[in-house]
Every structure is written in structure tokens, then in C-alpha cells.
């Protein structure tokens, strides 16, 4: 098969960080996080990815919701944010992350052009369903 004979019929996107802005969860909680908002976002995402990779390598699967919570627990402890109410406030909006501003237009243009679109993610199905529904 040559490069010229490849026909693209579908575009598949990663959910978190490509379609959905994982930083939007912490951004919705700046009233309690204050100047730690950016640090929470960065460390939470780093640990989320690290825990996913480590569990995969160890053959110790946990769904992405569990990994997300574990990563947040590490983040809050590391940054000295002990309030369990903050954890709940951060986990809840993670289910309905804001999509990046360009996403609706890009997806609409792809669909009008006849491309199928899909999400390929390690996110738990319920998380992805909530995110897609929440983002419209």
C-alpha cells in the first residue's frame, strides 16, 4: 500500500488533554485552591499518568476514575491541602470537564466533511459519557 492509496475515514481523539481540558476541574475550585490551583493541576495530571503507567506495568489494573482519585489524594497530601471537601469539589467537575474552545467547531467540520469521529481513551466509560454529555 502506498501513501497515496490511504483513505482517511475517521479521526480518533484522546479525551483528556486533547478534547477535554483536565485543568478545568481545578479552575472551577480557585475559590478554595487560590494560588495552588496551577500546582494542583500539574501534579494531579502527572500522578494520574504515572499511576496509569505503573499499574499497567505491574498488571494491577484500576479504572481511570480510581486512578484519578488516587492521584488527587497524593496531590492534596503533597501540597498540604487536607480538607476532604476540597477532594469532593475537585472530583465532581472532573466528570464534566470543559472541552477546549476549538473542539466543537473542529468536530462539526470533520463530520460535515464526512469523517467519523471517536474517542480512544483509558477513561472509564461512565467518565467519558459524562464528559461528552457535559460538553455537549
Domain CATH for 58: 1.10.150.240
Residues catalogued as catalytic = 14
pLDDT tens-digit readout, 25-78: 999 999 999 999 999 999 999 999 999 999 999 999 999 999 999 999 999 999
pLDDT tier for residue 88 given thresholds of 50, 70 and 90:
very high
Say how far apart CA 48 and CA 22 lie, in whole Å: 11
Question: For 9, which DSSP code?
Answer: -
Q: What's the pLDDT score for residue 1?
A: 53
Q: What's the pLDDT score for residue 3?
A: 65
Query: Is residue 28 within 8 Å of residue 40, measured between CB atoms?
Result: no
Does the pLDDT at position 114 exceed 90?
A: yes
pTM for the whole thing? 0.87
- How many residues in the chain? 136
In whole numbers, what is the pLDDT of the chain averaged over residues?
A: 92
Beta-strand runs (E) in the chain: 10-13, 116-119
DSSP 92-125: HHHTTPPBPTTHHHHHHHHHHTT-EEEE--SS-H
Those residues with Cβ within 8 angstroms of residue 60's Cβ, 6 or more apart along the chain or in another chain = none
pLDDT tier for residue 122 given thresholds of 50, 70 and 90:
confident
Cell 505491574 belongs to which residue? Answer: 58
Cα dist. 39→7, 15, 57, 119 in Å?
Answer: 43, 22, 27, 28
| Total tally of structural domains belonging to the chain | 1
Parent domain of 20: 3-135
The enclosing H or E element of 67 equals: helix 64-78
Amino acid at each position: 500500500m502506498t501513501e497515496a492509496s490511504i483513505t482517511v475515514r475517521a479521526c480518533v481523539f484522546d479525551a483528556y488533554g486533547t478534547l477535554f481540558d483536565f485543568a478545568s476541574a481545578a479552575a472551577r475550585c480557585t475559590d478554595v485552591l487560590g494560588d495552588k490551583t496551577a500546582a494542583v493541576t500539574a501534579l494531579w495530571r502527572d500522578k494520574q499518568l504515572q499511576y496509569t503507567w505503573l499499574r499497567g506495568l505491574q498488571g494491577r489494573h484500576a479504572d481511570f476514575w480510581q486512578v484519578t482519585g488516587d492521584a488527587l489524594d497524593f496531590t492534596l497530601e503533597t501540597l498540604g491541602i487536607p480538607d476532604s471537601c476540597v477532594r469532593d469539589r475537585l472530583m465532581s467537575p472532573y466528570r464534566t470537564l470543559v472541552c477546549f474552545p476549538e473542539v466543537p467547531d473542529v468536530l462539526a467540520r470533520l463530520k460535515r466533511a464526512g469523517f467519523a469521529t471517536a474517542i480512544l481513551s483509558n477513561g472509564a466509560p461512565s467518565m467519558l459519557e459524562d464528559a461528552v454529555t457535559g460538553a455537549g
